[in-house]
Structures are given as C-alpha cells and as structure tokens.
Structure 1
C-alpha cells in the first residue's frame, strides 16, 4: 500500500538568520506597523549585558515596557504578571529575547490578552478544547538557547498547584517571526547552550523515529541532526566560533520540522515533561538523561529508523543509543537520573504521570502501562 500522511504548515511568516538581532527586530516591527512593542526578556541579559539596551535603542519610542522575571518552566503566575504588564502598556507586539521559558511565556500571554485572562486559575479557559479567541497581539522571538520552541504553536506552562506542565495550543501563538543571531547566544552559559542543543537533537531523533514520521520531516530532521552533531562539539571547543553557533541554531530550527508539521514526539519528551515540572530539571538535561535509554528500549520496534540516526551523526552501522550516549557524555552533560538526584523511590510517580502526557502514548514502541515507563527509567538510573 502506498505511503500516506499529512503535513501541516504553521503560521510562522519569516525566519532571519545570521543577522544582528536588534536592527532586524526593529525592521520587522516597522514593516508590520507596530507602535507599542512590549519586551519579554532574560533578566540576566537585561542586568548584565547590553543586548536588551541595544534592542530598546533600535525600537526607540516604540518600546513601551519590559518584563524580565520569567522563571524556568514558565509558571502560570509569571504568565499572568507579564500579561498584566503588557495589557497596561497597550502592547500591539511582543518581542522575546531569551530562552524557551520566556518564549513559551509570551505565547501564553498572547492568549491571555485575547481572552481577558487575568488570574492563574482563568488560564483553564484557554486550554483546548475550550473555544479560544485568536491572538491579535503577535510575537517576534530572538532565542538564546537551542530548545527551538519559537517554531511551535504550543506553549508549555506549569501549574504550580499540581506541578504539571500543561500544553496550550493555538495556531496563532507561533511567533510571526524568528531572528537567529549567533552573537546573542555568546552570553548563554555553556551548559545551557549544549544541553538545549541536545533538546534539539531529541526533537530530530524522536521525529525521525516516530511511527508517524513523514518524508518532509525526516529530510529536515536528518540535516538538522548532522548540523547539531558537528556544531555542538565545535562550540564546546571554541565558544567564539560563530559559524558553529549558527549551525547549531539552524539545526535547532530544522529539528522542529517534524513536530510543527504534525509528527508526535515519544517517551523522551513525555518523561522529560514530568522531570521538568516535578523536579525542576532543565529540559535540556531531561533529554540528555532520557534519550539514549528511550532509544535502547525502543530499538526492537524501529531499528531501521535508528540506523538513520546513527548515520546522520557520523557513525553508520553503530547502535544509535550508544552513539547518543557517547555524544552526550562527550559534551559533559548528565547521563543518569542519579546525577540529578532522582532516585528509584520516585519512579512510580514519574511513570504514572508520564502516561498522562501527550507523547508517551504515541511512543513508537507501544507503552500500555506505567510499568513500561518504569523499565525506561531503570535504564536511565
């Protein structure tokens, strides 16, 4: 029977790469007739570098406010605070400069502004399948890490009451434009740049290995994986190598092609959501810890696809789980749950909660019950 599938395209309009961020953002804002630009940015960059000042300078009087207090994992309370500031400022465009938590936060702020959400509890009203008004205040993102959430129509927000990271979806919350400037990433701590690079590797790998993969997604993800496999070690060796940093940024962009075009992720992402929300483990580190073990557990179901992964990483004929393990170790990243102080006494809780994520039920090797998640956790212990 012929192969069949579907590819969905997002409402991201443009990606600029290798250009100075501040001038490029200002030019995009002018072209879209933005008059009141609200910034959501990294607090560290705002306080310790001149990157945010350069952005304000380029925007001039059109910059109407700055929010720089978004914690990791994007808690609901911070989203509400940012939304209130943007509402008070009468923002007609949001610009983010920072990591994935800030990017996701701005996506959620778009929903809050469009739907009069003013409390953390009221965010329940804009979760699917509830009717949701489309955002009218759009977003431009300048990422400083490689998680690549700026290419997605999904926002991950943590409910502090339950310590569950929830997904908010709407086709219009994907940023209108993304600016990839390697120069702004030079301030990113090396552990964060490299670990989010493995997050991008995880996007590539789980997209390629999915039972619902597509030729379109595979083509982008395989090339993205090649760029990341070459670029991340180069950045570790020479942090000033801007060509390598841009290769990593483009690799991260390509890594999102499967996900944003409709290909589901698998157990590495699903378990990672729980580890991040419950134990406050950075998402890059969750991929470093879980991905090789998930690949080993899945090998009986998709060895042919795993062979493509090993080849793209420069190790044809080798076991993909072993290749990923060695690659991650070579970057100096954590490789076990023990290294981040998650013990086996927590495995049952993690396994139960992971079953409720969108991705574990769509893992390429079927996961029917928490006991199978626990098997993967034991491999990663």
Structure 2
C-alpha cells in the first residue's frame, strides 16, 4: 500500500507467546518447553501437565499415547482429558477444569484442533478466576489442524443454550506453540483442508479488520499467497510431510499473535452464529461464508481497507487472478473502480479455491432452516462493530441466501 495511505499512528499489542517450535519431530521439545514455562513463575515447582484433547486423537491415532509416554518418562504427566467435542461444549470444559484442579497440575498441553486449544484457554481462564492466582496457568498448544486458535487470546466454547460464547484476556493466549507435521499426518485430508480455509479467512479478513496494524496486514498478504499454494499442493500430495509442515507456517502467518478481542470480520461473525448452533465445523463455516463476504466487502469498503483488500489480488497465484487488470503490489494507486474489481476477484478466487479443494457445501446441507436466515443475520448485525460496512439486509441477500 502507498505510504500516504498507511495509518500515521497505531499500536501493536503482543500476546504472552514466548516460543514457537516447528518441524517434523519438534514435539520432542515439549518437556523442555514445559520445564521452562513452569519455572518462569515458580522455580521450585515440579512440572505436571494435563493433556487436553478429543476422543479421535486418543482412540484412533498414536499421537496422545506418544505424548503421554514422553511426559511419563520425565515425570511430568498429570493426566489426559479426552472428552472435548466440536465447538468445545462448556460442560466438557468445566469437567476438564475440575480434573486439572483435582490433579493439581500446573501446565496445560492442548493437542488437536481449535476446540481442544480453545478449551485449554478457557480452562486456564476459569482456574485463574476461581483460584485468585496472580498468574494464568501456562498453556502449550500442539495443533493438528490449521485453525490457528493457538495464536489468540479468545477462548470460544458452546454455552448451556447451545450458543457460541467465550472468554477473553490478554494473558489467556498460549505461552508456546509446537507445529509438528508428523502429527498432522493423522489429520484427515478434508478436515485439514477445511481448517486451511479457516486460515485463508483469517488472512483475508485481516485486510479489513478495523485497527489491524499495517505490519500484520502485510504479513497476511504473504499468508494469502502461501495458503493458496500450500493447500493446492496438499490436495495433490496429501502424504507429503514437507507440504503439511509448510501449511502450518503459512497458517501461522494468517493470524499473527496479536492481543485483540472479537471476530476478525463479517465472515468470522457469521461463523460464530452458524457453527455451534447448527453443528457446522469451523473450517466449513469459512468455506460457506468467506467467498460471498469478500464480494460484499469489495462493494462496501472504503479508503485504506479497500486498498488493502485490493492489494491481496496481487498476491494470488496467477491462475486465480482472473481477467482483472493487474494493479501491481501497490493497488492503492489504481482508481476506485479498479480497486473494487481487484477486491471482487479475491472473492472469486476464494470460491475457486474451495472448488479446487472439493470443499463446496451449502447451509441446506447442514440442515439450517431457511426461516432462520433472518434471525442469523439479525444476531450478526446486532453485535457488529460501530461503523461496520454492511447491513442486515445485505447479509441476507448477498451472503446467506446465496450459500443456502
């Protein structure tokens, strides 16, 4: 973007993240990371870790068994809670909290997708509330999907009414992350690719998220390029561990650690209302909502936000750029008409990527009643940030009706 368009002031607020390890086999760093984090606030404490995960990883893969053996070998094993389901039901989160308190653990290790990771964040939050401790219990995230929940301070879960809820605190983000592609090889391809679309959603919505620092937007541009290329490559070669490792790294760039609260944008806001209520996986929510959301944004955004989204066009692989006139890396120098055309093509490119990855879906497929569309739009509209560039009627006509 042109220097004249960059914000003249702003802030980058860091999360408590202290370490990121990546590469096949990097989970072997776990005992060292645990010891470092526990000793940071109590040098005399013996590390004792509770593993937070789901049934599938425990029962159908060797992943949790291997992590358990590693921790048992060094005397750090404090239990496994494997009941975390999709969208992290609060009943399961609270049960895990009780186990953590009963077992007197002092570190949490989440292994899995967004639900175990968000659950561990929520557990740390609730323990902090109930104990009155000065510190949040440290949390190490070991993702096996591309949801990138590990970089945020938000902890989403499903409340007793079946609605998306959550807690948020600057100290709630994991202290360390381990991206080990050997573990990712056990993740089914469709799940892996759909969570990759969630990462695409992060990167693109960062382009127009109010208050996103320019440095983070610039990083998201490279994440867009990397994700399109890596997800396509993974679709062609699902058993290539190097490609899966690359997917992790570009997904990490899509939601760079930044202390912030709330949904990234309209696509995420819609996903929050659709996911838990209708049992739609996080990644599929993005598959459904992102293409048409970007097209709507291409018509409604103004100024710097429009220029950022238009610039994303230049970072698409050539086969996704369509017939739009190339604006180059500095899309802000083009006319408003040219910017809107480039931004619209980003939405078309996302739709094409969804098709290429064979992830196409509809709200009808997930049994969302058509009569619910207005109430869904109303809930999103009612909780939107001040000055958001969309209206309830546009959510219905330009997005929900089209994806039904």
Listed one character per residue, the Cα deviations across residues 57-94 of structure 1 (whole Å, up to 9, x for unaligned) are 22122101100010111111111100001111100111
**C-alpha displacement of 1:321:** 1.2
Task: Tell me how far apart the structure 1 counterparts of residues 278 and 133 of structure 2 sit (CA, whole Å).
Answer: 33
Unaligned residue ranges in structure 2 (runs of 5+): 40-45, 325-341
Partner of residue 69, structure 2: 57
**C-alpha displacement of 1:42:** 2.7
Matching residue within 18, 36, 40 for 2:52? 40
8 Å contact from structure 2 (residues 152, 260) kept in 1: no
Partner of residue 297, structure 1: 296
Partner of residue 345, structure 1: 371
**C-alpha displacement of 1:264:** 6.0
Partner of residue 308, structure 1: 311
Listed one character per residue, the Cα deviations across residues 79-125 of structure 1 (whole Å, up to 9, x for unaligned) are 110000111110011111111100000111112212228xxxxxxxx
Matching residue within 110, 118, 124 for 1:96? 110
Task: Tell me how far apart the structure 1 counterparts of residues 258 and 396 of structure 2 sit (CA, whole Å).
Answer: 25
Instruction: Choose 211-220 or 94-103, whichever is displaced more.
Output: 211-220
TM-score, structure 2 normalization = 0.84
8 Å contact from structure 1 (residues 41, 102) kept in 2: yes
8 Å contact from structure 1 (residues 154, 168) kept in 2: yes
Matches within 5 A, 1:315-326: 315-316=320-321, 317=324, 319-326=345-352
**C-alpha displacement of 1:366:** 3.6
Listed one character per residue, the Cα deviations across residues 325-354 of structure 1 (whole Å, up to 9, x for unaligned) are 011111011243233332421101211222
Instruction: Choose 370-379 or 277-286, whichever is displaced more.
Output: 370-379
**C-alpha displacement of 1:308:** 2.0
Query: Are the structure 2 counterparts of residues 44 and 362 from structure 1 closer, same or farther at C-alpha, using a change threshold of 3 Å?
Result: farther
Matches within 5 A, 1:174-213: 174-213=173-212
Matching residue within 89, 104, 119 for 1:105? 119
Indicate the RMSD between aligned Cα atoms, in angstroms: 2.2
Partner of residue 128, structure 1: none
Instruction: Choose 244-253 or 53-62, whichever is displaced more.
Output: 53-62
Matching residue within 1, 5, 8 for 1:3? 8
Matches within 5 A, 1:145-224: 145-161=145-161, 163-224=162-223
SS for the counterpart of 2:12 is coil
8 Å contact from structure 2 (residues 289, 403) kept in 1: yes
Partner of residue 328, structure 2: none
Task: Tell me how far apart the structure 1 counterparts of residues 200 and 133 of structure 2 sit (CA, whole Å).
Answer: 34
SS for the counterpart of 1:166 is strand
Matching residue within 18, 25, 29 for 2:23? 18
Partner of residue 123, structure 1: none
Q: How many residues align?
A: 362
Matching residue within 25, 28, 33 for 2:33? 28
Instruction: Choose 311-320 or 238-247, whichever is displaced more.
Output: 311-320
**C-alpha displacement of 1:51:** 1.5
Task: Tell me how far apart the structure 1 counterparts of residues 134 and 191 of structure 2 sit (CA, whole Å).
Answer: 33
Answering whether residue 140 of structure 2 is matched by residue 140 of structure 1, we say yes
Task: Tell me how far apart the structure 1 counterparts of residues 258 and 147 of structure 2 sit (CA, whole Å).
Answer: 13
8 Å contact from structure 1 (residues 113, 135) kept in 2: no
Query: Are the structure 2 counterparts of residues 363 and 206 from structure 1 closer, same or farther at C-alpha, using a change threshold of 3 Å?
Result: farther
8 Å contact from structure 1 (residues 265, 363) kept in 2: no
Matching residue within 120, 125, 130 for 1:116? 130
Matching residue within 54, 76, 86 for 1:72? 86
Listed one character per residue, the Cα deviations across residues 160-193 of structure 1 (whole Å, up to 9, x for unaligned) are 22x2211211111111100000110111111111
**C-alpha displacement of 1:155:** 0.2
Matches within 5 A, 1:263-302: 265-302=264-301
Instruction: Choose 32-41 or 93-102, whichever is displaced more.
Output: 32-41
Instruction: Find the structure with the greater CA-based Rg.
Output: 2
**C-alpha displacement of 1:8:** 1.1
Task: Tell me how far apart the structure 1 counterparts of residues 247 and 380 of structure 2 sit (CA, whole Å).
Answer: 29
Unaligned residue ranges in structure 1 (runs of 5+): 118-131
Partner of residue 336, structure 2: none
Partner of residue 333, structure 1: 359
Answering whether residue 389 of structure 2 is matched by residue 365 of structure 1, we say yes
**C-alpha displacement of 1:211:** 4.4
